Amino acid sequence: MPTVVLVWARHAHGNLGVIENDAWVRTLLGRLTDAQESSHAHRWQVEDAPADYIAQMLGAIVGIAIEVIRLQGKWKVSQNRSASDCAGVAFVLDSLAGGLAMAVLVRGNT
């Protein structure tokens, strides 16, 4: 079966700062965990871990913030593949739930 090559690249340009505030890092860690666990039936939360473990792990995390000045993005959808490969990939994508939009993109790059 032919394969599709989809590459996304994003570059953020800006000023980087180190955050040395345990409460800020702890809040961010909680938000990231909640976002990653949101699709699970039994969601894990940071508070589920022992307090001493959380304190130890927080000591090993370096918080950073970027004041974004410019975002640059680029993507590639099988432009380097043969027309027959792209046609095969698009054919398979047509049959997949949610694949139609991607099939259109692959066909547009041949």
The answer as to whether 1 is a domain residue is no
Residue identified by tokens 């909680």 is 30
Q: 49 is written with which tokens?
A: 């871990």
Mutual orientation of helices 22-37 and 51-58 as an angle, nearest 10°? 110
pTM of the shown model: 0.55
Each of the 110 residues of the chain gets a pLDDT tens digit; together they read: 455 556 677 889 999 999 999 999 999 999 999 999 999 999 999 999 999 999 999 999 999 999 999 999 877 777 778 888 888 888 888 888 777 888 888 887 65
Instruction: Please state the domain count of the chain.
Output: 1
